[in-house]
Amino acid sequence: MIPILSFTWSICCLAFLGTISAYIDQAAFSSKDILNYDVCVIGGGAAGTYAAIRLRDLKKTVAVVETQGRLGGHTVTYIDPVSKATIDIGVIVVNNEDLTKNYFARFNVSLTAANFDTPGVTNEYVDFRTGEIVKGYAPPNGTAAYRAYAAQLAKYPFLDLSLGNIPQPVPEDLLLTFGDFINKYSLQDAIPQFYSYGQGFGNILNLPALYAFKYYNPNNFQTALTTTRNDNSELYRKAQAELGADALLNSNILAMDRSDPKLAKILVKTPSGPKLIKAKKILSTIPPLLSNLHGFDLDATERPLFKQYKYHTYYAGLLNNSGIPDTLQLQNVGKDTPYNLPVLPSAYYISPTKLPGLHFFQAGTPETEVLSSAQIQAEVVASIERMRAVGTLPSSDVTPDYAIFANHVPYSIYVPPSVIATGFYNKVFALQGRKNTYWSGAAFVTHDSSAIWKYTETLMKDLAA
């Protein structure tokens, strides 16, 4: 029995007032199941882990509530069981900035310049729908177009930190679809470069330009770093070891009561039973979708805002037994699509790795479609079978399988341009500190760990006060 008293009555009564909450009876818990902290961090991805470590450095007590059995969120690393070699299949690079370098140095994780050169590897441009090579296709030289894009981006310095400083009225170009923006400024030759860098945004031509500006930052492309051991998860393993029992893994928020202005109560389901966390402040870093916030006591200001969020999909993995030569990279291009963009759902590309026989892929779906892991895995295998059938790849009776697969859904949280225009982000960022609750994560910045850490750092003063 979960120790919540009068739970049904509380929901009915407080929902009438615009708040869904639960009366959590502290007397129903033994002393060992009541955990007192300065800050409760919800979510152990990039923002949550960084915040927890920084707050500890500021001599604050912190709990991290994480649904997975590890910290790191979208940071996923494959460790070969034989050679112990590592391959990052989630977050691959970080930005060359002091805050980032200091964070890794704190855990003695060395960084090096990211190198995406693939000597000896040939690109083949294939329409994954048919498995056939798209003869005569070659990506355009996008250097001039990308330089012109950077000049447009420079007009919006208020986007450097987060989505919280967008002026009203919102600049017209930010409300265009990225496709319309590209056409307006004749940036078509840069499209393959955009697509090669950023996956998980559905059809990028339909993406609101605001989000493209936040993600596609030319400076980051040129100075990206990665870990020397190609193991970005090392940072999170070391952070998890430092947090110890204060990292509540495989745990979920069941209920929350923020009615006391000085102390929040959070009921958490953990592997060792329900725990009551009493915290002076809360930092939520999970995607702010209502489906993720079902245990939160959202009120009439918060709920209507979070209800408007939508999301994209993103999947990644390593293929075994694909029959793809280790000297061949397959790029998915549409034979008859605008700018030869691939048709989703599908893998964007399939690329060799440093481990013979293992091939890395990233996959996505249209913004209107969400597929299960099994469905995406089946589609990737089917695309290889199509290539075998038409002779693009050697024929084989061996069915490809997966050394590792990561489902990063929900990904790239967004709202449509019509909602952005209403001052949506000004309203969302006005929630910071309200009811002693703060918010961070990719939905407030972009999918860029370094950018998330930089924004989260701005919250430290208030969280530690």
Helix (H, G, I), strand (E, B) or coil at 222: helix
* pLDDT at residue 364, rounded to an integer: 96
**Mean pLDDT of the region 412-422:** 97
Residue 399 DSSP code: P
**Calpha distance 418→176 (Å, rounded):** 10
Q: How many CB atoms lie within 10 A of CB 233?
A: 22
Which residue's entry shows tokens 């040129």?
222
The DSSP output letter for 436 is: G
60-116 pLDDT, tens digit each: 999 999 999 999 999 999 999 999 999 999 999 999 999 999 999 999 999 999 988
pLDDT digits (tens, 9 = 90+) for 14-61: 443 344 456 788 888 999 999 999 999 999 999 999 999 999 999 999
Confidence of residue 222 (pLDDT cuts 50, 70, 90): low
User: Does pLDDT of 156 surpass 70?
Assistant: yes
Query: What share of residues in the chain are helix, strand, coil (percent, to 5)?
Result: 35, 20, 45
Q: In the prediction, which pLDDT does 27 show?
A: 85
Distance CA 180, CA 167 (A): 21
Q: Which residue has the tokens 């001599």?
A: 59
Alpha carbons 207 and 202: distance in angstroms, whole number = 8
- β-strands 264-270, 252-257 pairing: antiparallel
E-strand stretches of 146-272: 225-227, 247-248, 252-257, 264-270
Strand partners, 268: 253, 275
> Minimal CA–CA distance to 311: which of 211, 432, 438, 378?
211
pLDDT digits (tens, 9 = 90+) for 236-295: 999 999 999 999 999 999 999 999 999 999 999 999 999 999 999 999 999 999 999 989
Complete DSSP assignment for 418-432: HHHTTTHHHHHHTTT
Q: What angle do CA 232, 236, 240 make, to 5 degrees?
A: 160
Residue 3 pLDDT greater than 70, yes or no? no
